[in-house]
Amino acid sequence: MNVAQNAAHIHSKIKAACERANRNIDEVKLVAVTKYVSKETAQKALDAGVVHLGENRNEGFLDKYEMLGEEAVWHFIGSLQTRKVRDVINKIDYLHSLDRLSLAKEIEKRAEHPLKCFIQVNVSNEETKHGLKKEEVIPFVQKLSDFQKIEVIGLMTMAPHIEDQEKLRHYFYELRLLKEKITALNLPSAPCTELSMGMSNDYEIAVEEGATFVRIGTSLVGKEF
């Protein structure tokens, strides 16, 4: 697995998608999802210039953080249990999975500084996925207005793993429309300018539909365990 070559290939694909959508590639950040790889492979991503690293589980994150620490910009992209907030909240730069008030309250209690958060949206209404339903998002964002430690910078979704590209495009388009509705509210606590969407199988479509963060695991760093 040549991570540097993979990163270059993915960047070229992102650039092409940006050109098709008349976007600037600087608008899109590549997050290496290192959940299934070692600390050493995560280091290879950093060496290849991919400074944004994403982890799904507390244990995996803390293990890599101990070795790589402040070399990386850290994204927690998995469901975060309320009881484990204290372990990670002051070590991460972004949380991609804010989806309930109890989690927000614990972040407010434990965070030492405002945290950049994405609201997780179950845009395809799959029972197996975490996240709020589309109609629940704006009321939830409004409830967060009084929280000092939470900055809602955008929305995140995980599209279903399907081959139908038009369906995928529609899901990403729906998330972008919802983001624009929240942005229009002009809430100081929720600028909501970002979209975290797109993975190894669908990131090009996500970029065409406005993704500003794409989360790539297998295609970039592989899968070791």
pLDDT, one tens digit per residue, over 177-198 is 999 999 999 999 999 999 999 9
Q: Quick: pLDDT tens for 75-93.
A: 999 999 999 999 999 999 9
Structure tokens at 212: 């500003």
pLDDT given at position 46: 98
Amino acid at the residue 78: G
Q: How far apart are CA 103 and CA 80, in angstroms?
A: 8
SS3 assignment, position 21: coil
Q: How far is CA 210 from CA 115, 146, 207, in A?
A: 23, 29, 5
Q: Quick: pLDDT tens for 1-44.
A: 799 999 999 999 999 999 999 999 999 999 999 999 999 999 99
Weakest-pLDDT range from 21-30, 120-129, 134-143, 152-161: 120-129
